[in-house]
Amino acid sequence: MDNKAPKYLIVTYGCQMNKNDSERIASLLSDLGFEPTESDKEADLILINSCSVRKSAEDRVFGRVHDYRKLKEKNPNLIIAVTGCMAGRDKKGEFKAKMGPVDLYFPTSDMVKLPRWISELRPDLVNTTDLKSDYLKIRPLRAPSSQAYVSIQTGCNNFCTYCVVPYARGFESNRPAKDIMDEVKDLAAHGVIEITLLGQTVNSYKAPDPENFSSNNPYVISTAAERSINMSSRPQRRDLSEKISPLHPENFRGSGRNDRGNHFAALLWEVNQISELKRVHWTAPYPSQMSDEVIDALTLPKQVNFLHLPVQSGSNEVLRRMNRKYTREQYLEIINKVKAKRPGIALATDIIVGFSGETEEQFQETVSLFKEVDFDISYNAQYSPRSGTLGIKLYEDDIPAAEKRRRWRVLQELMEETALRKNQEFKDKTVNVLVEKIQDKWASGNTDEMKLCRFPCHDPSLIGKIVPVKVTLVQEWQLMGNIVE
């Protein structure tokens, strides 16, 4: 066997959870003796971690695979692998049939089988049958940083009609609280001061091991009102043809609640007890899981002054067709509670325009909701039908592409106007900035409100530290200022 260590290249598309999964794959490969490389020509293994949220994301993956075809022709020993959401939801192998030179094609949870598969293809590189049982048990291999993402769950039980996640990642699965806390404590001990907890519906987290929460955790024991709810009578999944009754209790009951309290709020409290941490963030919550306990946890001392709460539409009829399990009225009620509990919190959301059957009037309901909430930022997307989802089976994609683009532009311009106006509130004020990088004598990082801030800086020792910056100039997407000595 060649003494030269084999090399791997991981190409990641998509969300923060995909990036965290890639860190797990890197850890697994490192344990096998592989070393990372930035050059596809040096790699013995190229792995693409795919995203399937929209067709454009899938097209990028197909394009990258096509680019590697010539490499494979020159080096037949090169192993090309594809994982992530495309492989996870490709039950009929339709994507795989177009992958050409790909040797390994597997859903994320099957990464634990990589050692065996690599040894079968290249026994000169790997010779082991030692496999892990659960990929979430693999400790991610991260580059040194003051920030880190920690997955607390994977999968989803909601089956929104536009979404591929339940098909790509399966039903919701939650990590033990002890495993999460051990990982966070280890990160904090190695210099991480900002943690972002990740999950598809992160606030629905339910610990398999609630006995590992601290005995003095205030969110472990539920209130008397909470205990009075008979959680054994959970509602069945609603027929998509059924009309939503606004504020109907069965449409608003959170699965994160039980006779031991709210596990997600309890987890946030536990993370807040780690002295080395300075900031705690989490994404992305589901509106109907924003219980009073979770909203109260927004006031924990290390919680960032920011909440990203996807709404997708401001129309009850569109929300019904999307199979979102809340109404406009319920969403606004949650937002009002959040603002009352934490005044001045920065709010973000996700919105889909041009969903099947969306009328101009229904789109205007989304516009009016945006104005009423007064979001700091929204991530707007034009509806893209995804094969295998309920949406493509139930509804025709009947909104012309040009009309989708127009609606997207309306929201985008509204967001830019709102972002600039809201950023003006920071002019001449001092904000706390976690310095992420210094380039061309300018430092940049996020404030407590997750707003990008830049300031002149010549001191590389500030990277990874939180520093006060007085804001002198504001733009739509960033604040600019000078460090306060």
Residue 12 has pLDDT above 50, yes or no: yes
Helix axes 177-189, 263-272, angle to 10 degrees: 20
Do residues 414 and 435 share a domain?
A: no
Instruction: Round to whole Å and give the CA distance between 139 and 227.
Output: 36
Residue 414 has pLDDT above 90, yes or no: yes
Domain with 56, as residue range(s), is 7-136
Return the pLDDT at 134. Answer: 86
Q: Which burial class, exposed, middle or buried, applies to 23 when counting CB atoms under 10 A from its CB (0-12, 13-18, 19+)?
A: buried
At residue 274 the predicted structure's pLDDT band, cuts being 50, 70 and 90, is: very high
Q: Which amino acid is at 87?
A: A
Helix axes 401-423, 360-373, angle to 10 degrees: 10
Do residues 253 and 343 share a domain?
A: yes
- Name the least confident of 3-17, 120-134, 236-250: 236-250
Return the pLDDT at 249. Answer: 30
Do residues 177 and 292 share a domain?
A: yes
Quote the longest CA-to-CA distance of the chain.
69
Residues 258-267 pLDDT 10s: 345 899 999 9
Which of residues 198 and 248 earns the better pLDDT score?
Answer: 198
Domain boundary among 423, 440, 462: 423
Residues 286-345 pLDDT 10s: 999 999 999 999 999 999 999 999 999 999 999 999 999 999 999 999 999 999 999 999
Residue 463 has pLDDT above 80, yes or no: yes
Return the pLDDT at 53. Answer: 86
Report yes or no on 317 lying in a domain.
yes
Number of domains present in the structure of the chain: 3
Task: Identify the helix (H) or strand (E) that includes residue 300.
Answer: none
Average pLDDT, the chain: 90
Do residues 389 and 447 share a domain?
A: no
At residue 92 the predicted structure's pLDDT band, cuts being 50, 70 and 90, is: confident
Do residues 416 and 339 share a domain?
A: yes
Which residues lie across from 262 on neighbouring strands?
A: 257
Do residues 397 and 435 share a domain?
A: no
Structure tokens at 41: 């020509």
Burial code (b: 16+ CB inside 10 Å, e: under 16) for 415-441 equals beebbeebbeebeeeebbbbbbebeee
Return the pLDDT at 412. Answer: 97
At residue 129 the predicted structure's pLDDT band, cuts being 50, 70 and 90, is: low
Percentage of residues in the chain having pLDDT higher than 90 = 84
Which of residues 134 and 229 earns the better pLDDT score?
Answer: 134
Residue 422 has pLDDT above 90, yes or no: yes
Do residues 321 and 453 share a domain?
A: no
> Of 298, 292, 257, whose CA–CA distance to 280 is shortest?
298
Domain boundary among 423, 455, 471: 423
Rounded to a whole number, what is the distance in angstroms from the first to the last CA of the chain?
A: 57
Report yes or no on 2 lying in a domain.
no
- Name the least confident of 106-120, 237-251, 351-365: 237-251
Do residues 298 and 385 share a domain?
A: yes
Do residues 402 and 448 share a domain?
A: no
Return the pLDDT at 91. Answer: 87
φ, ψ dihedrals at 385, nearest 5°:
-60, 135
SS3 content of the chain, % helix, strand, coil (to 5): 35, 20, 45
Angle at 362 between CA 243 and CA 291, to 5 degrees: 60
> 457: domain CATH number?
2.40.50.140
pTM of the shown model? 0.86
Helix axes 360-373, 328-341, angle to 10 degrees: 10
Return the pLDDT at 255. Answer: 35
Q: Which amino acid is at 161?
A: T
Helix axes 16-31, 114-121, angle to 10 degrees: 60
Query: Strands 452-456 and 442-446: what pairing?
Result: antiparallel
Do residues 81 and 20 share a domain?
A: yes
Residues 29-81 pLDDT 10s: 999 999 999 999 999 999 999 999 888 889 999 999 999 999 999 999 999 99
φ, ψ dihedrals at 312, nearest 5°:
75, -40
Domain boundary among 423, 442, 458: 423
At residue 243 the predicted structure's pLDDT band, cuts being 50, 70 and 90, is: very low
Return the pLDDT at 2. Answer: 52
Residues 6+ apart with CB under 8 A from 44: 6, 7, 8, 34, 77, 78, 79, 122, 125
Residue 397 has pLDDT above 60, yes or no: yes
At residue 97 the predicted structure's pLDDT band, cuts being 50, 70 and 90, is: very high
Do residues 81 and 30 share a domain?
A: yes
Report yes or no on 104 lying in a domain.
yes
Residues 3-26, mean pLDDT to the nearest whole number:
93
Do residues 359 and 210 share a domain?
A: yes
Return the pLDDT at 233. Answer: 31
Return the pLDDT at 126. Answer: 85
